[in-house]
Structure 1
Amino acid sequence: MRAAAPSPERQAAHRRGHRAEWLALLALMLRGYWPLARRVSLAGGEIDLIVRRGGTLVFVEVKARARLDDAREAIGAAKRRRFSKAVRAWVARHPCAGELTLRADAVFVGRGLWPEHCPAAFTIEGL
């Protein structure tokens, strides 16, 4: 039996999320970050972007909302736990990451606005 197709609203949200991630990546690249991975799913969590600049490896959570304030509030404790679990799994699979400074950033995307990059937006739990 096939699963039901996603609703039009769900499909639109999915497209908005993809656009926000590409916009966030562009903004980070313009600031000198080099992309390593996108949409990494590990250990029950997801990392939207993994980028590097110099000796810093950055795991990025991208949040898109109509208002930037709503985007900032969208990263709750449960999301941080799942994100941290995925980061730990990624680091375990990439031993060279241990030689770098690790950081969890957020990029907030609001309607019609340039993405807002927040370095060290939260801590990576368990590292």
Structure 2
Amino acid sequence: MSLPAPPSRQALSALAGVRAESIAALLLMLKGYRILARRYRAGGGEIDLIAARGDTVAFVEVKARGMIAAAEEAITADKRRRLVRAVRHWLGRNPWAAQRTLRCDAVFLGRGAWPRHVPDVVTLMLD
């Protein structure tokens, strides 16, 4: 009987992403947010978390790296464009949200550090 093959690098990365998103969701819930969606994929992009608190809907990018500073640098211009495309798609399917305050936030995670929630990290240009 042979041992099962070890998980691929891609599978380990996906698992780490799910774990980071779960930590970020917990942090946001502790801050009073309600999670509306996780891993919303559309329009050629993905929104890790969509959360609401009061009149605000936050589209949250989650980045985990060895250090918080490296996580902060991981939101590239291309990632911002794909995120805004996915937000536009989500808003098209959820017209109730158009009258709300809309933000693109981020939660950064690093080893040995508390997760950091940064509101309004990406400017939403929806017009």
Shift of 1:76: 0.5
User: Does 1:16 pair with 2:16?
Assistant: yes
Q: Which has the larger radius of gyration?
A: 2
Tell whether 2:87 aligns with 1:87: yes
- TM-score, structure 2 normalization: 0.92
Query: 4+ residue stretches of structure 1 with deviation over 2 A?
Result: none
Q: CA deviation at 1:111?
A: 1.2
CA distance in 2, matches of 1:105, 1:83: 11
TM-score scaled to structure 1, two decimals? 0.92
1:103 and 1:120 in contact (8 A); partners too: yes
Q: Report the secondary structure of 2:40's partner residue.
A: strand
Question: Unpaired segments of 5 or more residues in structure 2?
Answer: 1-6
CA distance in 1, matches of 2:71, 2:116: 10
SS of structure 1 residue aligned to 2:70? helix
| Aligned equivalent of 2:60 | 60
Aligned residues: 123
Q: CA deviation at 1:112?
A: 2.6
Contact in 2 for aligned 1:105/1:120 (Cα 8 Å) = yes
Root-mean-square deviation (CA, aligned residues, Å) is 1.6
- TM-aligned CA deviation for residue 54 of structure 1: 0.1
